[in-house]
Amino acid sequence: MGNLFAHHAKPGAITDADRAVLSLKAQRRKLEEQARLLERRMDHQVTVARQLVAANKKDRALLALQRKTLAQRQLEALAGHLLNVEDLLSGMELTKQQARIFSALQDGAAALKKAQSEERVHGALSAQLAPADEAAAAEELAELEAEFEGAEAAAAAAALPAAPARRHEPAAAGAAAAGAAAAGEEEEGAEREEGPEAGRAREPALVAA
């Protein structure tokens, strides 16, 4: 009977144990009512028997006393049933209390087992790791952090708007003018080195052209 009501129940829900207790209490109430009725019947039969004895009706007085005896036996049987119901109710309350205690013990044991298991895993891991392993783990963690920070920086740079392209036309024109001026200076220097004769020799060729 100890395991009959040992299951977990939702707070406020009516369990089988609660229904059994209610049924036993209802039966006890009915037995008590019947016992009071039998007590009144016994008193009545005694009163009737006295009256019949006074009236010299012994036969009927004896019959009344027999009815009183029958009611008394019924009352004794009811008293036995009431005692059994009281014992059952006490046992049910004790069983419910034991079920709550057993449930609390189970929950506490489960929590303790979980904590001990986690502690054993942590202890085993710490015992298996050498100082070099711990240093390698720390180094790998630093690399992962650096990789994560680099990815964040790249994502932030990609989110910035692109800079407008610069115009290079004036610079190109200036470079062309500088090139032409340099070419003219080279031609003048060549003429000075060749002398007046070379210049006059080129003039007919230019005229003919």
Task: Give per-10-residue mean pLDDT for the chain (209 aa).
Answer: 47 74 87 91 91 88 90 90 87 76 75 71 60 69 75 71 53 52 55 52 46
Residue 139 lies in a domain: no
Encoded tokens for 100: 């709550």
- In this prediction, residue 44 carries a pLDDT of 92
Q: What does each C-alpha distance from 141 to 3, 126, 129, 183 come to in angstroms? A: 52, 17, 16, 64
Residue 10 lies in a domain: no
Q: What domain range is 125 assigned to? A: 16-131
Angle between helices 58-128 and 16-54 (to 10 degrees): 160
Residue 146 lies in a domain: no
Cα–Cα distance, 170 to 191 (Å, whole number): 32
Of 38, 49, 44, 124, give the one whose Cα is nearest residue 81.
38
- In this prediction, residue 39 carries a pLDDT of 93
This prediction's pTM: 0.43
Residue 91 lies in a domain: yes
Q: How many alpha carbons lie under 13 Å from residue 93 in its C-beta half-sphere?
A: 8
Other C-beta atoms lying within 10 Å of the C-beta of residue 85: 20
Domain total in the chain = 1
Cα–Cα distance, 9 to 154 (Å, whole number): 56
Cα–Cα distance, 29 to 32 (Å, whole number): 5
Cα–Cα distance, 179 to 184 (Å, whole number): 9
Other C-beta atoms lying within 10 Å of the C-beta of residue 68: 19
Encoded tokens for 146: 């650096």
Residue 90 lies in a domain: yes
Residue 150 lies in a domain: no
Residue 200 lies in a domain: no
- In this prediction, residue 209 carries a pLDDT of 42
Encoded tokens for 143: 């690399």
What number of residues does the chain have? Answer: 209
Residue 194 lies in a domain: no
